[in-house]
C-alpha cells in the first residue's frame, strides 16, 4: 500500500474560487500529497491545489471540490495539464491516465516499498509513476525523513511519561534532544536541496 489512509473529500460549502478550498483540502488529505503521500511539513514548502482533470481542458470543473487534490509541487508540476483521455471521466483506460487519489483503487496500482520507493504494480500504476516521476530519489528520501520524525515524536511521548528523577532517563532525554536538534538542522538543509 502506498498511503497511510485514503483521503476523503468531506467539504461541502461551495466557493467561486478554488483557492478558497486550500484549508479544507489540507484537512481532507491529512496534510499529505494525494499522489505521493509526503507530509507538507516534511517538504517545508506550500503545497498546490491540483485540478485532477486539468483546468486547461475542463474549465467547467474549476471550482468542483471533487476535482481538487492537495498535491506537493513536484507531483503537481509533473502532472500539470497532462491528460491522455478525451473526457474528464473516465480518467484512465487501464493502461494510461490517472486515478483519483480519493479512490481506494489508487493503492491497487501503486505501492510503497520497504525502502520508501514508489513503484507501479500494474501497467496503469507504471504509467502514473512515470508521469508523476514517483521513482525519483527525493520521494523516497522525503518519505524516510517523515518516518524518522514520526519515531522522534514517539520517543518524545515516552520520555515525557517516565520518572523524572531517574538519572538514566535524564541522560536519555539529553541524548534524544541533541539527536533531534541535529535531525532538524539536517532536515532544514536537505529540504532546500530536494
- Chain centre distance of CA 140: 12
Rounded mean pLDDT, 169-183: 75
Residue 90 has pLDDT above 60, yes or no: yes
Rounded mean pLDDT, 28-35: 96
Place of cell 483521503: 7
Q: Is 119 helix (H, G, I), strand (E, B) or coil?
A: strand
Window from 21-25, 94-98, 160-164 with minimum mean pLDDT: 160-164
> Between the CA atoms of 28, 34, 37 and 39, what dihedral angle is there, to the nearest 10 degrees?
-50
Rounded mean pLDDT, 92-114: 95
Provide the pLDDT confidence category of residue 191 given band limits of 50, 70 and 90.
low
Q: Is 32 helix (H, G, I), strand (E, B) or coil?
A: strand
Task: Give the pLDDT of residue 190.
Answer: 63
Rounded mean pLDDT, 18-33: 96
Rounded mean pLDDT, 7-19: 91
Provide the pLDDT confidence category of residue 179 given band limits of 50, 70 and 90.
confident
Residue 69, C-alpha cell as written in the block: 487534490
Rounded mean pLDDT, 173-186: 74
Residue 194 has pLDDT above 70, yes or no: no
Closest CA to 33 of 139, 148, 161, 181: 139
Task: Give the pLDDT of residue 161.
Answer: 76
Mean pLDDT of all residues in the chain?
A: 88
**Domain spans in the chain, listed from the N-terminal domain onward:** 18-138, 144-191
Task: Give the pLDDT of residue 7.
Answer: 92
Window from 84-88, 93-97, 121-125, 137-141 with minimum mean pLDDT: 137-141
Measured CA distances, 179 to 136, 155, 156, 187, 190 (Å): 28, 11, 12, 12, 16
Q: Count of CB atoms within 10 A of residue 105's CB? A: 13
Place of cell 483521455: 85
Amino acid at each position: 500500500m502506498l498511503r497511510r489512509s485514503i483521503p476523503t473529500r468531506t467539504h461541502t460549502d461551495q466557493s467561486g474560487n478554488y483557492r478558497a478550498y486550500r484549508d479544507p483540502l489540507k484537512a481532507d488529505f491529512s496534510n499529505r500529497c494525494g499522489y505521493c503521500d509526503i507530509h507538507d511539513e516534511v517538504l517545508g514548502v506550500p503545497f498546490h491545489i491540483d485540478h485532477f482533470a486539468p483546468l486547461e481542458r475542463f474549465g467547467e470543473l474549476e471550482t468542483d471540490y471533487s476535482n481538487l487534490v492537495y498535491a506537493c509541487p513536484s507531483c503537481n508540476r509533473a502532472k500539470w495539464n497532462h491528460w491522455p483521455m478525451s473526457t474528464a471521466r473516465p480518467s484512465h483506460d487501464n493502461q494510461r491516465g490517472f486515478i483519483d487519489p480519493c479512490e481506494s483503487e489508487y493503492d491497487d496500482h501503486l505501492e510503497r516499498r520497504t525502502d520508501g520507493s514508489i513503484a507501479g504494480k500494474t501497467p496503469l500504476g507504471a504509467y502514473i509513476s512515470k508521469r508523476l516521476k514517483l521513482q525519483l530519489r527525493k520521494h523516497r528520501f522525503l518519505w524516510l525523513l517523515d518516518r524518522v520524525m514520526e519515531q522522534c515524536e514517539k520517543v518524545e511521548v515516552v520520555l515525557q511519561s517516565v520518572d523524572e528523577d531517574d538519572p538514566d532517563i535524564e541522560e536519555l532525554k539529553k541524548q534524544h534532544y541533541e539527536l533531534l536538534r541535529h535531525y532538524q538542522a539536517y532536515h532544514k538543509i536537505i529540504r532546500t536541496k530536494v
